[in-house]
Structure 1
Amino acid sequence: MTNKTIYNAERALYLDLLERVHYHPIVNEWLAALPEWLAAIKDKQRYAHAPAYLAAVEKLPQIDVHSVDLDTDTITIQADLSEAEYKQITALMKQLMPWRKGPFQIGSGVEGDRHTVFIDTEWHSDWKWQRIAPHLVADHGTLEGRYVLDVGGGSGYHGWRMAGAGAKQVIIIDPSCLFYHQFMAIRHFVGAADNNRTHYIPVGLEALPRQSQLFDVVFCMGVLYHRPSPFEHLQQLKGQLVKGGQLVLETLVVEGDDTTVLVPHNRYAKMNNVYFLPSVAALTGWLNKVGFTEVRCVDIDITSVEEQRATEWMTYQSLSDFLDPSDSSKTIEGYPAPMRATLIATK
């Protein structure tokens, strides 16, 4: 039987958007662009690895899934795997390495059951979710029934958690060909357990209509410091929100007052695409300047080498390699070590 995971997922996305056209004509612009968006991510001229990623997803076996838990630290697909299924799933999922955001588990998870695939990702993304979740949607205290956009969602881990928290619809966007196929691999096993409420569009924020105003909550985590024009990015985020909607913004920050902004001269923690690291006070001012209100910082956390590290599923360098070996409070370039803040703001 042909694996129709991606076809079914893209069809469900189209139907979900079509359902909203009557109330939000702007969705016609999304629908018009959707075929090009979805075709581009599979274009081997643009993404050399796209055929291999697609083949890995298509070869995943059909298994008897007992239950799916999206509201737990490890996204869990409960199933009794045979040894052959375990080996096949492990080999195919490893063709989609590196896995950066997770973790995920496919199998029974029963202690002593060696036929469980545990994808131990570079990031303990569950730790970030634990820090953020208690502060979501100040007026409601929950994502229940909300339309949500996750900008730069990677493999989709946090998007699945948003669905698990009761969101009516989650749309994850990220232009990465690898991350798109990682999401589809997990979608293969999740099936319709989320009632097809969780979708993935492989584009960056700049591809969306600037004033869609479709979402009650927009998440943007780990993206802002990669944008050379942060004010434009914040305006684009604001344009996706309904009036009264909320932005959940998580980004790298530095200590300082409302005028403090670090601009790395070359690399920051070995990343060459880091542009602006503001203080919390400066970032609050930025959000106010573009028209957000009720801006509040709900979490500040220094990233630890336990939260971000190399694993069997991400074998490249990680945080410990990016820090000064003689002073872990600094990056290898001498800048302050990664510190992340989460701010929530209202449109």
Structure 2
Amino acid sequence: MPTNAPSPELSTSLDQGGTPIAFADATASDGSLRRFLHGLPGIDPVGLEARAASLGTRSIKTSAKAYAIDLAISMIDLTTLEGADTPGKVRALAAKAVHPDPTDRTTPHTAAVCVYPDMVASAKEVLKGSDVKVASVATAFPAGRAALPVKLADVRDAVADGADEIDMVIDRGAFLAGHYLKVYEEIAAVRAECGDKARLKVIFETGELSTYDNIRRASWLGMMGGADFIKTSTGKVAVNATPANTLVLLEAVRDFRAQTGIQVGVKPAGGIRSTKDAVKFLVLVNETVGEDWLDNHWFRFGASSLLNDLLMQRQKLATGRYSGPDYVTVD
């Protein structure tokens, strides 16, 4: 299965907004961008899914499992994105992110807490002084159907309230209609709005992109626009993160770094609920892009319920007993 992208002479230089200037020719027009994206090697769906499934069968020893559980905990963006979210709920979630297991202070903290823009200040209040980041979905999440000035105002407000990371959604309607330049320009504009104050995660909603080829094109489009992370899903549709669609993103960031020298993170989100699933994704990372991505600066899990299962499995390894769900807080 071919994975290497076209190899023009690329520079690692970035423009003032933080986007790679190496793609100036490719992004000069809708036509040139379409030629570049459709010139990427096609994906064999059968081969891709077979490889993802094969990697998912790998088993790990007890000591390695303990390491993997702690690593997975440290990679979680602990998330609440509900209309019924309250400042109190967000503050409680933030406190859990700092000390996931109050009975065992050796438990690592999560990478971030992910909330709506109007809840950023509540999360920041609790997380001030800790190493846990505040991530905020923006740009008319989850549909992304709003005018660009509205999307940028959404980002501006979140950053002003202290968001360390912005999770933006692309306009899937524009992408599927072939208006790649519009999508690219929105990503670049959001990247510029984030400036040096917030890292940018670009969400593709892979379950709505129909094909693996489209997921690869969206991955390159996001990275060309200046994404610090590319992310599978919002968690709000039927098909969210899968090993196969995450593999496409991992291959894309691997090839992008080979071409440009720029490393981009990956975040599968939605539907990852068990320790077994998390370990499968970590194996996928290790076997596809290597140890450089086995760090929460470059790999995250977007999850709300995964943490509790990881904590229960961690307690079982430590005590030899399975505590059960009553021994962890309900998020």
TM over 0.5: no
Higher RCO (Cα < 8 Å, 6 or more apart): 2
Structure with greater proportional strand content: 1
Structure with greater proportional helix content: 2
